[in-house]
């Protein structure tokens, strides 16, 4: 199947022409500071047309456009239920009509983390598995699940895609979602700077001199032996591991796939989470494998074909 694929990230939009498990052409458009999705549509159209030309694909063969959004989206109705303050006008736009009029193909929209799971199962770390949990560590924490080969969606399309909002600490930090002590409030990219700054000894840490505190600087400083960085990293690992056990107990997967930019430190993260899951998750049958995602930021783009082929 030939398809168009869009991954609507908070700061950029991944654009691709895909044929089955191959990305024929791809690029990234900056979206930071854009007032609305509507204002971005002409640029998206232009970019997808350029990629179609670059890939020498026969445009008439194209069977659909798959769009991953950082939102609660119901692929069955094409409705966007919540946009987490990104692309706030998306729910009011007639995107299916735009897609049909512009490219002559149907549009399917899905939560971006669900699309990434589809991609990893189709072409990456979860190939061959029908029962999958995927955790994406980024600004927030994405957690999604597939059971018996079907993405879990639920009555309001929010089932299993709020994995980062499962609490790990009832007395913890307030979360952007309104809950308390969510995994991403305790160890997400957005909460990390605040956690680090409150850590005893922060003023003398290498983190205090870093231009910005993100997982890259945290893991680099920890690898250099910076005490505060080592302790904050340990806390993050424990939060992610606790979140993984919760998701395993909830969804009964054979495999847990962990993705996100921080997985450049997979050699530290995966063994820690695997040990914790093996020790603490329920599983009379055995324990799920914990693996690093294989596709990086191509995962959601490669979820296009399985999403478009899914019988809803």
Contact set with Zn ion (CB under 5 A): 165, 175, 177, 179, 182
Burial environment of residue 5 by CB neighbours within 10 A (0 to 12, 13 to 18, 19 or more) = buried
Minimum distance from CB of 141 to Zn ion (Å)? 9
Minimum distance from CB of 175 to Zn ion (Å)? 3
Nearer to Zn ion, 121 or 165 (CB): 165
Nearer to Zn ion, 159 or 177 (CB): 177
Contacts 24+ apart (CB under 8 A), 160-165: 160/250, 160/251, 161/72, 161/111, 161/113, 161/114, 163/133, 163/135, 163/243, 163/247, 164/140, 164/188, 164/243
Nearer to Zn ion, 31 or 191 (CB): 191
Minimum distance from CB of 162 to Zn ion (Å)? 8
Minimum distance from CB of 165 to Zn ion (Å)? 3
Nearer to Zn ion, 182 or 237 (CB): 182
Between CA 134 and CA 126 the distance in angstroms is 9
Nearer to Zn ion, 114 or 165 (CB): 165
Minimum distance from CB of 179 to Zn ion (Å)? 4
Nearer to Zn ion, 186 or 226 (CB): 186
Minimum distance from CB of 138 to Zn ion (Å)? 14
Minimum distance from CB of 140 to Zn ion (Å)? 8
Minimum distance from CB of 32 to Zn ion (Å)? 23
Nearer to Zn ion, 119 or 138 (CB): 138
Nearer to Zn ion, 175 or 292 (CB): 175
């Amino acid at each position: 199947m030939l398809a168009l694929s869009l991954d609507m990230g908070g700061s950029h939009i991944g654009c691709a022409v895909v044929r089955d498990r191959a990305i024929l052409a791809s690029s990234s458009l900056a979206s930071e500071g854009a007032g609305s999705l509507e204002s971005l549509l002409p640029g998206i159209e232009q970019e997808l047309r350029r990629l179609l030309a670059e890939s020498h694909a026969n445009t008439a063969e194209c069977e659909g456009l798959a769009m991953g959004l950082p939102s609660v989206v119901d692929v069955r109705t094409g409705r966007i239920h919540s946009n987490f303050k990104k692309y706030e006008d998306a729910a009011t736009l007639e995107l299916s009509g735009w897609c049909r009029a512009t490219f002559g193909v149907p549009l399917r929209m899905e939560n971006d983390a669900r699309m990434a799971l589809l991609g990893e199962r189709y072409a990456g770390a979860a190939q061959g598995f029908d029962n999958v949990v995927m955790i994406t560590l980024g600004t927030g924490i994405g957690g999604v699940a597939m059971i018996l080969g079907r993405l879990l969606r639920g009555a309001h399309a929010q089932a299993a895609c709020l994995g980062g909002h499962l609490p790990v600490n009832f007395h913890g930090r307030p979360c952007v979602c309104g809950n308390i002590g969510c995994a991403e409030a305790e160890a997400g990219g957005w909460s990390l700077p605040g956690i680090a700054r409150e850590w005893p000894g922060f003023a003398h840490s290498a983190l205090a001199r870093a231009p910005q505190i993100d997982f890259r600087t945290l893991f680099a400083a920890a690898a250099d032996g910076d005490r505060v960085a080592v302790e904050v990293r340990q806390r993050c690992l424990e939060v992610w591991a606790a979140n993984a056990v919760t998701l395993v107990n909830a969804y009964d997967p054979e495999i847990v796939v962990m993705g996100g930019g921080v997985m450049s430190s997979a050699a530290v993260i995966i063994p820690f989470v695997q040990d914790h899951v093996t020790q603490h998750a329920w599983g009379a049958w055995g324990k799920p494998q914990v693996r690093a995602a294989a596709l990086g930021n191509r995962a959601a783009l490669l979820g296009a074909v399985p999403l478009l082929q899914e019988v809803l």
